């Protein structure tokens, strides 16, 4: 369940923290759905974001379509292709989020390639993100050694800069990433690309427990989580889960078969995920 819709003066980091504080008070874990901006179109994206908010998600990751994605599997890659073909741009993405400011309480973070930020210019991208009402960024292809400029700009603007740790990240590097992540820490569950999987990887519980000793921000697990049962299993050890490919696939299938049912399908699936992790903190 989301907290009250934020004012424009509330920083993204503070809004994210408020969501996790509300979760802790209610004894529940976080669900952070991922959807692609502009798939199948801009209007539907706005409806989907509102539906996810109604369903009680803690956070929303909004994918910025990119022609050369780094860690995305076939489902999300296809959604990026569709969105770009149908005219999604950064300006449209910012406008879509801005139109929802004050209407939804769930903080929205952009999942975005650093090359998009760099081409726009760090200062301009951050300023436009603040104006639109974004709460922060997840930048999967930004090495920590090259992140100082964006990190400083985000800190000044009050935006979260979420860092990612993968199963192949060396311990010393993982500790450095965990210390510098703001908003939350993204724990990638498997080596490889995004996509729904049938089983959770070995060693995940131990990895999350170790990361807890290295950071004070919440830890969310993503990549490969698709079902309510998997979400509940992960939420038993982490602060929440990120679900992407399963939702993007549902949206694509529903939109193709019955466009009017697409938003309803996403909302129901997120409600099922939220219900699944409701008692995971007990």
Q: Which residues are catalytic?
A: 61, 72
Quick one: residue 27, left, alpha or beta (phi over 0 = left, psi -120 to 50 = alpha)? left
> Is there a cis peptide before residue 40, judged by omega within 30 degrees of 0?
yes
Going from the C-alpha of 124 to that of each of 101, 109, 127, 153, 238, the distances in angstroms are 20, 17, 5, 10, 34
Q: Considering only CA atoms, which of 55, 58, 59, 54 is closest in space to residue 25? A: 58
């Amino acid at each position: 369940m989301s907290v009250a819709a934020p004012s424009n003066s509330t920083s993204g980091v503070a809004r994210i923290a408020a969501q996790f504080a509300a979760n802790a008070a209610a004894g529940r874990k976080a669900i952070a759905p991922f959807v692609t901006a502009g798939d199948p179109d801009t209007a539907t994206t706005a409806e989907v974001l509102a539906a996810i908010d109604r369903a009680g998600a803690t956070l929303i990751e909004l994918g910025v379509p990119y022609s050369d994605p780094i860690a995305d599997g076939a489902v999300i890659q296809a959604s990026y292709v569709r969105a770009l073909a149908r005219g999604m741009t950064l300006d449209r993405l910012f406008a879509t989020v801005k139109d929802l400011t004050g209407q939804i309480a769930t903080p929205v973070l952009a999942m975005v390639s650093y090359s998009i930020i760099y081409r726009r210019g760090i200062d301009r991208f951050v300023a436009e993100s603040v104006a639109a009402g974004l709460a922060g960024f997840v930048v999967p292809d930004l090495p920590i050694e090259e992140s100082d400029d964006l990190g400083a700009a985000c800190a000044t603007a009050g935006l979260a800069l979420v860092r990612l740790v993968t199963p192949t990240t060396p311990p010393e590097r993982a500790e450095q990433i965990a210390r510098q992540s703001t908003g939350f820490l993204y724990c990638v569950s498997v080596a490889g690309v995004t996509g729904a999987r049938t089983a959770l990887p070995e060693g995940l519980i131990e990895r999350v427990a170790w990361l807890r000793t290295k950071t004070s921000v919440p830890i969310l697990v993503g990549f490969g989580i698709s079902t309510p049962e998997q979400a509940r299993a992960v939420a038993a050890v982490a602060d929440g889960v990120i679900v992407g490919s399963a939702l993007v696939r549902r949206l694509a299938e529903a939109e193709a078969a019955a466009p009017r049912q697409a938003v309803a399908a996403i909302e129901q699936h997120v409600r099922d995920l939220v219900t699944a992790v409701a008692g995971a903190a007990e």
